[in-house]
Amino acid sequence: MTATNIAIVGVGKIARDQHVPAISGNARFHLAATVSSHSGLDGIDNFETLDALLAARPDIEAMALCMPPQVRYEAAAKAIAADRHVLLEKPPGATIAEVEALVRMAKAQNVALFATWHSRFAAAVEPARLWLQDKKVRHVSVIWKEDVRRWHPGQAWIWQPGGLGVFDPGINALSIVTRILPEPFHLVSSTLEFPDGRDAPIAATLRFTGDGGFEVEANFDWRQTGPQSWDIEVETESGTLLLRSGGAEMHVDGRETLREDDAEYDGIYARFAELISTRDIDADLSPLIHVADAFMLGRRVVVEPFA
């Protein structure tokens, strides 16, 4: 099978840490170029702009867009118009409407579009979904706390409008919960803590209610030091499920049933290859909708400045 030539647009930390190794490890892709105005990758053809790449390299069939969400829509629209398949790093865009527009464009152009949620490809997520599919959920608790300085050093865009703040990691938790729960849920209250002088929150406390009467409580915080916390606990009438380490571990009633190393981006690129082969679209916006609702219902609390 001939490998698909793919380009990475936006060569930042996530591209170097996750996308490059995953592409290199997948025989169905060949990393043919990058787009970066600052620095590319050794031995890989680099272009300063997407326009330059699209004009010079018609052989590149797919694009992985890894730039901040605030500027992703224009790049995705250009790539789709040029008949390129598009993978969107999470969150897929700065607004729901712009991602919906990209879906319409991709359908009209008959190209693949993949709005990725990497945490859904954690090893224990699908086993958790299968375990829960016939269970009656009573209560869900989500604790997602990490150190922003460790994961986003010097990245100003995360504090700007559209950068999501603490929802950049928090949306990972929501992507898992929306995948594993057997019934949908919606937001009923939101408290957002904004550092003085910043346009995005550093912490959030959310409460949801499910169609079956259960509650989901979520606490997101970017001020965690020491061990990081990425846990989801689901209490059901038939026992308690616990996902730990962002979905890498699964426990049922206190007994560990699964623990595997991170291979989330390997799963993403396996899925993208499937979508390219069928020219299909995978763009579930439910995690982004919950974040938008959190901003709409959010009670704003100003906290100490973040520097």
- 98 confidence band (pLDDT: 50, 70, 90): very high
**How is residue 300 written in tokens?**
């704003």
At residue 53, what are phi and psi to the nearest 5 degrees? -65, -45
Whether residue 4 is predicted with pLDDT greater than 90 in this model: the reply is: yes
Helix (H, G, I), strand (E, B) or coil at 250: strand
Q: Which residues participate in catalysis according to the annotation?
A: 90
Whether residue 262 is predicted with pLDDT greater than 80 in this model: the reply is: no
- 258 confidence band (pLDDT: 50, 70, 90): confident
The topology (CATH level 3) of 4-115 is Rossmann fold (3.40.50)
- 95 confidence band (pLDDT: 50, 70, 90): very high
Whether residue 1 is predicted with pLDDT greater than 80 in this model: the reply is: no
For the chain, what are the domain ranges? 4-115, 122-259+292-303
Within 8 A by CB and 6+ apart from 281, the residues are: 103, 106, 107, 112, 113, 114, 275
Q: Which residues sit opposite 252 in a β-bridge?
A: 241, 255
pLDDT tens-place string over residues 22-64: 999 999 999 999 999 888 899 999 999 999 999 999 999 999 9
- 307 confidence band (pLDDT: 50, 70, 90): confident
Looking at domain 122-259+292-303, does it have CATH number 3.30.360.10? yes
At residue 125, what are phi and psi to the nearest 5 degrees? -65, -50
The pTM for the full model equals 0.95
The residue among 55, 56, 40 whose CA lies nearest residue 8 is 40
Task: Kindly state the percentage of the chain with pLDDT values over 70.
Answer: 100
Q: Can you say whether residue 60 is alpha, beta or left, with left for phi > 0 and alpha for psi between -120 and 50 degrees?
A: beta
Which residue type is seen at 115?
Answer: A
d(CA 111, CA 100): 15
Whether residue 76 is predicted with pLDDT greater than 90 in this model: the reply is: yes
pLDDT tens-place string over residues 174-231: 999 999 999 999 999 999 999 999 999 999 999 999 998 999 999 999 999 999 999 9
Within 8 A by CB and 6+ apart from 177, the residues are: 140, 142, 185, 216, 218, 232
